[in-house]
Amino acid sequence: MEKIAIVPAYNEEKSLPAVLRALRADAPDFDVVVVNDGSTDGTSAAARAFAGVRVIDLPENIGIGGAVQTGFLYAREGGYGLAVQVDGDGQHVPSEIPKIAAPVLAGTADAVIGSRFIEKAKFRGSAFRRAGIWVFQALNAVLLGQRITDSTSGFRAFNRRAIDILSRTYPDDYPEPEAIYILRRRGLTIVEVPVDMAGRAAGRSSIGFGHSLYYMVKVCLAIFVLLLRRDDRAG
Amino acid sequence: MDNVQIIRIQILAVIGSVLLIFFILELIRRRRLREEFSILWLAMGVVFLVLSLFRGLLDKFSYFIGIGYPPAALFLILIMGLMLILIHFSTAISELKETQKKLVQEIGLLKAGGAHSPAAPALRAYGLPGGPKAG
């Protein structure tokens, strides 16, 4: 089975080389595609310095969702059977990839979420962030009937069926919690596995503190509308 | 308010409505406004023209929907019309964003020489690293 690591990157010239080096060392059997989301710094050059890394330079910044979806489009066209998403900011540790890839490779899940919260609470965000995470957990328990502890984690693995669906339908901003619902609505199996994540190596998170409230409202609205929609293929 | 004043405002209202309709038509003629966006504006112009030509209509309308003060009904019509137009704009902008996103993605994929690219089979044949595999 062909495997690919999708690395979305927006102005990550400082942290990207370490991510790509770690991918080469810890996941050598993965092809790597960097989706440069219209960065204004040297992200593209930093990625192109690595032979064998395919770089997709988007001419404009279209947001994390659009960038990751470009990776799914690439993976779908390339016929990959397994895609993992690894953020370019260094938060996701490539040596943890086997953990999230295993259920897909074993055929026991269509999508796998790497969770920071299942085992230990090594990660501690702001109180507001933790409150938001709690809301998502409650929402997931009620609406999905499934315990998903880390909805906002972007460290994920997908099989071909999930890649195909997400390449057609993927939210533009704050896509992670909503993507779970998109897949579950199609009857796909999602599992969570515990992973370790690093603190950010450089740069700022795409979710600033001030945007947290907008994030919560937008995601809840999107999930609500998704459940109302009879056919969510469009959009 | 004497009769002269009422006729004065009526003439002004008719002129205003006609000007709005002609202005919209002129914008379409010069291709500065697409027909799909003009329809709501034209409809509003026509509604105001009719209301200013037949003065009794506004009174009847406000009585019918239970508004005691007819000018308030005028504001209601105006605000509803503007809201319709603004919602139409929001949907149009959403469509534009969606189209723009797809174009940006497609351009990125084409430039990267993915499987979309005419060069993709050649890349695969040469076994270039990172090239997409055949599905």
Beta bridge pairs of residue A168: none
Distance of alpha carbon A68 from alpha carbon B96, whole angstroms = 20
**CA A63 to mean position of chain CA atoms:** 13
Quote the DSSP letter at residue A192: E
Are the beta carbons of B108 and A80 separated by less than 8 Å?
A: no
Local structure of A80: helix, strand or coil = coil
Which residues of chain B lie closer than 8 angstroms to A234, CB-CB? none
Residues with Cβ within 8 Å of residue A3, at least 6 apart in sequence: A27, A29, A30, A31, A80, A81, A82, A83, A84, A101
Q: Provide the b/e sequence for B54-93 (b: ≥16 CB within 10 Å).
A: eeeebeebbeeeebeeeeebbeebeeebeeeeeeeeeeee
The percent of residues in chain A predicted with pLDDT above 90, rounded, is: 64
Q: Over 60: is that where the pLDDT of A120 sits?
A: no
Handedness of CA A171, A175, A178, A181 (dihedral sign): positive
How would you list the strands of the sheet with A190-194, edge to edge?
A53-57, A30-36, A3-9, A82-85, A156-159, A111-115, A190-194
Q: State the amino acid at position A83 in one-letter form.
A: A
C-alpha distance from B110 to closest chain A C-alpha (Å): 9
Question: B93, B101, B103, B110: which to substitute to probe chain A, counting the most A Cβ within 10 Å?
Answer: B101
Are the beta carbons of B112 and A80 separated by less than 8 Å?
A: no
Q: CB-CB: which of A57, A69, A80 is closest to B111?
A: A57
State the alpha helices, DSSP H only, in B30-114: 35-53, 55-65, 70-112
Q: Could you tell me the domains of chain A?
A: 3-228 (3.90.550.10)
Local structure of A32: helix, strand or coil = strand
Which residues of chain A lie closer than 8 angstroms to B132, CB-CB? 31, 54, 74, 77-80
Tell me if chain B has a CB within 8 Å of the CB of A142: no
pLDDT value, residue B133: 44
C-alpha distance from B70 to closest chain A C-alpha (Å): 39
Question: A54, A68, A72: which to substitute to probe chain B, counting the most B Cβ within 10 Å?
Answer: A54
Q: Which residue of B has its CA nearest to A75?
A: B132
> What is the tens place of the pLDDT at every residue in A72-95?
999 999 999 999 999 999 999 999
Task: Report CA dihedral (A6, A11, A14, A17) to the nearest 10 degrees.
Answer: 20
Q: Which residue of A has its CA nearest to B124?
A: A78
Distance of alpha carbon B6 from alpha carbon A2, whole angstroms = 80
Tell me if chain B has a CB within 8 Å of the CB of A59: yes
> What is the tens place of the pLDDT at every residue in B26-84?
999 999 999 888 999 999 999 999 999 998 899 999 999 999 998 899 999 999 999 99
Are the beta carbons of A56 and B108 separated by less than 8 Å?
A: yes
Q: Directed axis angle between helix B35-53 and helix B70-112, to 10°?
A: 180
pLDDT value, residue B124: 52
pLDDT value, residue A194: 94
pLDDT value, residue A234: 42
How many C-beta neighbours within 10 Å does residue A7 have? 29
Q: A190-194 and A82-85 as β-strands: parallel, antiparallel, unpaired?
A: unpaired
Question: B100, B105, B133: which to substitute to probe chain A, counting the most A Cβ within 10 Å?
Answer: B105
Local structure of A194: helix, strand or coil = strand
Which region, left, alpha or beta, applies to residue A171 given φ > 0 means left and ψ of -120 to 50 means alpha? beta
Distance of alpha carbon A111 from alpha carbon A184, whole angstroms = 10
> What is the tens place of the pLDDT at every residue in A190-228?
999 999 988 654 555 555 666 778 888 888 888 888 888
B55 φ, ψ (degrees, to nearest 5): -65, -35
ipTM exceeding cut-off 0.85 for this assembly: no
Q: CB-CB: which of B97, B104, B133 is closest to A59?
A: B104
Radius of gyration of chain B (CA): 27
Q: Which residue of B has its CA nearest to A171?
A: B98
Which residues of chain B lie closer than 8 angstroms to A78, CB-CB? 114-115, 132-133, 135
Which residues of chain B lie closer than 8 angstroms to A60, CB-CB? 100, 104
pLDDT value, residue B117: 52
Distance of alpha carbon A77 from alpha carbon A80, whole angstroms = 8
CA atoms within 13 A on the CB side of A230: 0
Tell me if chain B has a CB within 8 Å of the CB of A167: no
Are the beta carbons of B114 and A79 separated by less than 8 Å?
A: no
Q: Which residue of A has its CA nearest to B101?
A: A62
Model confidence band, residue B3 (pLDDT cutoffs 50, 70, 90): confident
- Integer angstrom CA distances of residue A99 from A37, A48, A113, A180, B106: 27, 28, 10, 19, 32
Local structure of A69: helix, strand or coil = helix
Distance of alpha carbon B6 from alpha carbon B28, whole angstroms = 33
